[in-house]
Structure 1
Amino acid sequence: MFVAMGVTDPDPTWRKNAHEWFSSRLDDPNYHFAVVEVGGTVVACAVGAVRDAAPSPAVPDGRDALVNNVSTAPSFRGRGYGRMAFGSVMVWACELGIRRAELMATAVGRGMYERAGFRDTLFPAMRAKLV
């Protein structure tokens, strides 16, 4: 996933930080972690997170879902496993009454997201590193 996103030299502390982050949210109902296993090995995953933002005309209650970390192990791609994990997150969000979801798509995943109803927005994400 990170290679597809152009991240080639990540800070080595990310693994420890990620472990702590995921562990502290496993039982939080505002997060959904979907994994697909084949023969006892995790081959695909996806994460959903409820975001609490100011209400707006597009999201009157201010809640939406961020979908991220959708990934399939390279040797298992093309078999629907990523779609299963992604679908699990989308069902979870709908069951919570979330009316909008957002994600950042790689070229590989773009078609799957478009088939699920995702579209480009007029205001794409911008980022800045803060020191």
Structure 2
Amino acid sequence: MRVRTATIDDIPELVRLREVLAARMSADANGYPAVAGWQDSYARSLRERLGAPDVAVFVIDRPEGGGLAACGMGFIYERFPGPVLLDGRFGYVLGMATDPEFRRRGYGRAIMEALLGWYRDNGVRRVDLHATSDGEPLYREYGFTARYPGLTWVDPSP
């Protein structure tokens, strides 16, 4: 197994793995709301952002070739400095997905190691994420804990 940086050629597979993750999120949330056509927007954003200095997208190829077995993404954001983040920079992990056929083989762990290494290399000291029930045990092994209560607002207008 080798973790590598995603390329433009990986976009169709990254979209497919995001669909796998969306289905898992929907199962956890009793119907995670998805907007029709999100896949095109997702692919377009990947094309625009792959290779940006504030974005990391790591993948593992299927052992027999012909697609991806797993992926994970990281972003670096900047907000105003505060008592915990003196430089205001923090990371966010998203899109951690493993094809069901390849789960329980350490792929998610390998991608998380690559992401945390990338954050360390970039001087990011805080990383947030939202976990599915399947992924939560892995993230807790890395020291992710529940912090300040999070709330989310979604604009209800069409």
**Contact 1:48 1:67 (8 Å CA) reproduced:** yes
| Structure-1 residue corresponding to 2:74 | 48
Q: TM-score, normalised by structure 1?
A: 0.93
Consecutive unaligned residues of structure 2, counting only runs of 5 or more, are 1-20
1:5 aligns with 2:12: no
Q: Give the 5 Å matches for 1:14-53.
A: 14-38=38-62, 39-40=64-65, 41-53=67-79
1:71 aligns with 2:91: no
Q: Which has the higher helix share?
A: 2
| Structure-1 residue corresponding to 2:152 | 126
- CA drift of 1:15 comes to 0.9
- CA drift of 1:10 comes to 2.5
Deviations 1:64-85 (A, max 9, x none): 0010000100111000111111
Consecutive unaligned residues of structure 1, counting only runs of 5 or more, are none
Coordinate RMSD, CA, aligned: 1.4
Structure 1 runs (4+) deviating above 4 angstroms are none
Q: TM-score, normalised by structure 2?
A: 0.78
% identical aligned pairs: 27
- CA drift of 1:21 comes to 0.5
Deviations 1:14-51 (A, max 9, x none): 11100110110112010000001122220100000001
Task: Give the partner amino acid of 2:61.
Answer: E
Paired residue total = 131
Whole-angstrom distance in 2 between the partners of 1:130 and 1:63 = 30
